[in-house]
Amino acid sequence: MLILASSSPRRRDLLTQAGLDFTVDAADIDERMQPGEAAATYVQRLAVEKAQAVWERNAARNSDDEPLIVLGADTTVVLDGEIMGKPADQTEARRMLKALSGRNHQVLTGIAAVTRAGVVSEVEITQVFFDLIDEQELVRYLASGEPLDKAGAYGIQGYAARWIPRIEGCFFNVVGLPLARTMALLARARAGQNEAEPGQA
């Protein structure tokens, strides 16, 4: 039994695309950064905390016949060491996009899987290159409302794709979940869970 500890429709779509059967139980945790916390540490910690929180409230559903795995994830955009989360409003979205214009930045996703055997977690990093953003296009994009629910104020799978000539790394990571790495992580989690079964430890 797989539970996705995220309300992101993009992550739901990606897991469905990968052919996985799962349910959704979004985590509600404090997502503030800790003092001096690096971006990679931050997204990995949040992924783990999300997965652990949902595991704890669903632990009773775990069984030998249907072992429970909870998948957590957190994605952020980083430019010059500054973390860009979801913008609070159009003004902040404009600031973010103007900063990204004509530059390259990193998209980091922490992923974590929790089972009765413990936690496995990793971080995927993708380099994203932006062209200069035309002012009229920027105004049109901001008016669409699309930037407001996305880290860094853009989605590579939407209107903003016109500004991204290339990336280095996993495309799906920029969407919100590095699929190949997630599948490998889930396989590790299942293997660890099997090793924890009575008589196999």
**170, 180 contact by CB (below 8 A):** yes
Going from the N-terminus, what domains does the chain have, and what CATH number goes with each?
2-195 (3.90.950.10)
* CB count in 10 Å sphere of residue 174: 26
**127, 100 contact by CB (below 8 A):** no
Residues marked as catalytic: 74
Classified as helix, coil or strand, 126 is strand
Token pair, residue 99, equals 């900063």
Say which residues have a Cβ less than 8 Å from residue 7's Cβ, sequence separation at least 6.
Answer: 24, 26
State the Cα–Cα distance between residues 162 and 164, nearest whole angstrom.
6
Token pair, residue 150, equals 């996305």
Say which residues have a Cβ less than 8 Å from residue 36's Cβ, sequence separation at least 6.
Answer: none
DSSP string, 65-125: SS--EEEEEEEEEEETTEEE---SSHHHHHHHHHHHTT-EEEEEEEEEEEETTEEEEEEEE
* CB count in 10 Å sphere of residue 146: 16
Summarize the chain as % helix, strand, coil (round to 5).
45, 25, 35
pLDDT of residue 194: 58
Residues shown for the chain: 201
Q: pTM value?
A: 0.89
pLDDT by position in tens, the chain (length 201):
999 999 899 999 999 999 999 999 999 898 889 999 999 999 999 999 999 999 999 998 888 878 999 999 999 999 998 999 889 999 999 999 999 999 999 999 999 999 999 999 999 999 999 999 999 999 999 999 889 988 899 999 989 999 999 999 999 999 999 999 999 999 999 998 655 443 332
pLDDT of residue 43: 95
Beta bridge partners of 74: 110
pLDDT of residue 39: 95
Token pair, residue 188, equals 């590790």
pLDDT of residue 149: 84
